[in-house]
Amino acid sequence: MLILLRHIGTRFLDSRFRGNDEAENPLKKSSVIPAKAGIQRPQTPNSKCDKVELKWILAWLGAGLMAAGAAVVVADDCLRCHQERDRDLVIEWRTGPHNRPGVDCRSCHGERHDGSMAARSRTNDACLGCHPRVVGSYRTSKHGVLVAIEGGRDDYSRSLSDAHYRSPTCAYCHLHLGKHGMSYRVEAKASALRPVQVDITNRLDQRMRPCRDCHSPRFVETWFATGDRMVEIGGMKMREAMAVVQEISRRDPMAALKARIILYRSMLGHLKNVKLGVGHQSPDGQWWHGQAALDGDLLRIKSILHEVLVRPEGG
């Protein structure tokens, strides 16, 4: 028992003091998850902890242990047990896009093994730290709005299936049925820059599954069919702009620089907004931050070529 306590204690102190180099350690940074009503805030490393006195550390340690019989874990610790217990889950994570430097179990589940790890990771707050860009399109969508109105009253200990939530959260669709491979990515059929890939057919079917818990299959199919065409139309605008940029660079490399900045800094972002708008059912993302914004940039690029074409010699 003593050995165990000492082991946990060392881990705890270790992790608290390592909080100092949070800036250099993205892994630590990503584990900071804001608390949601009804869900215990995970104990996160304090960047000022070098000033914390020993008695406070002991008090925290004691309180933490007494409160939930909990232990603070590090990534390897998770896998040591869960590799056996949840083999499929760990394999899904390993083969999925979340298996990347700086992201491990703690990034979403927090560090306290107190029984609320699953619930904590199902809240939207668990995702927003790393995916802030997505927030805009989801936040104003009906789904995002309903989650906000529910204000955490949903029971997040329930599984991510069978419409257990008033409205889908990030995890409900993207980790549907608790699958950790992010296989339920709402992948748009066509992309502006690469052609349709055959091997995503299965994924296209999968992306509709969470929706069907509430919506009719026909609605979901129609939504995505129209959405795919919308994204493809965005791609057409991109390709038309690219052709114009090529023409500009043939005639005037300096002017092409300005056009390229519009193309890659601005238009790519708008196209992404269209995709996110379709996936998150956000009218703003699809239109004002998407198609209407793409229109503006396309004609700005065309205006650059127009000027190059009519500019007098030597002017």
Partner 1 sequence: MRFSHRQVVIGFCLLLVWPMWVWGDSSASFRGTGEYGGSWRSDPMHGYWDPLTYPRPESSKVKGVFQGEECLECHATLTPGIVQDWRASRHAQGSHPVFCPSCHGQDHEKLFFPTPETCGRCHPQRLEQVEDEKRYGFPSHALAMERVVDSKHFADKPKAEVAACLQCHSVATKCDSCHTRHRFSAAEARRPEACVTCHSGPPHPDDTSYFASPHGVRYLKEGNGWDWSKPLRRGNYPVPTCAGCHMKDGNHQVADKALWKFGIREINPETAENRIKRNRWVKVCGDCHPSKVINEFFHTLDEERGSAWKKLYTVEKILKNLRSDGLLLPNAADRPLYPMDWLARWFPKERIGFLEGQASAFYNVGALERDYFDLWYFTNTGAYKGMAHGAKKMATRFHGRMVEESHAIVVEADRVRTLGKRAKKSDIKPLWTEGEYTRYNRDHN
Binding region for partner 1 (CB under 8 A): 37, 140-142, 145-146, 148-149, 151, 162-163, 166, 212-216, 218-219, 222-223, 225-227, 229-230, 233, 236-237, 239-240, 243-244, 277, 281-284, 286-292, 295-296, 298-300, 302-307, 309-313, 315
Q: Minimal distance in Å, beta carbon 214 to partner 1? A: 3
Residue 272 backbone dihedrals phi, psi, to 5 degrees: -60, -40
| Count of residues making up the chain | 315
Q: Minimal distance in Å, beta carbon 149 to partner 1? A: 5
Q: Minimal distance in Å, beta carbon 156 to partner 1? A: 16
Q: Which residues on adjacent β-strands are paired with residue 72?
A: 112
For partner 1, the closer of residues 193 and 225 by Cβ is 225
Return the amino acid letter for 94. R
For partner 1, the closer of residues 42 and 277 by Cβ is 277
Return the amino acid letter for 132. P
Contacts (Cβ under 8 Å, ≥6 apart) of 268: 238
For partner 1, the closer of residues 104 and 228 by Cβ is 228
Task: Kindly write down the DSSP assignment for every residue of 23-82, as one continuous string.
Answer: TT-HHHHTT-----TTSPPP----TTGGGS-HHHHHHHHHHHHHHHS--B--HHHHHHHH
Asked whether the beta carbons of 283 and 143 are under 8 A apart, the reply is no
Q: Minimal distance in Å, beta carbon 153 to partner 1? A: 9
For partner 1, the closer of residues 56 and 219 by Cβ is 219
Q: Minimal distance in Å, beta carbon 175 to partner 1? A: 17
Give me 50's structure tokens: 């070098």
Q: Minimal distance in Å, beta carbon 9 to partner 1? A: 39
Q: Minimal distance in Å, beta carbon 15 to partner 1? A: 33
Distance of CA 121 to CAs 42, 47, 313, Å?
Answer: 11, 23, 63
Q: Minimal distance in Å, beta carbon 18 to partner 1? A: 35
For partner 1, the closer of residues 58 and 261 by Cβ is 261
For partner 1, the closer of residues 205 and 295 by Cβ is 295
- d(CA 15, CA 48) in angstroms, rounded, equals 13
For partner 1, the closer of residues 44 and 282 by Cβ is 282
Return the amino acid letter for 273. N
- d(CA 37, CA 74) in angstroms, rounded, equals 25
For partner 1, the closer of residues 14 and 155 by Cβ is 155
How many other C-beta atoms can be found within 10 angstroms of the C-beta atom of residue 172? 24
Nearest to 78 by CA among 90, 66, 70: 90
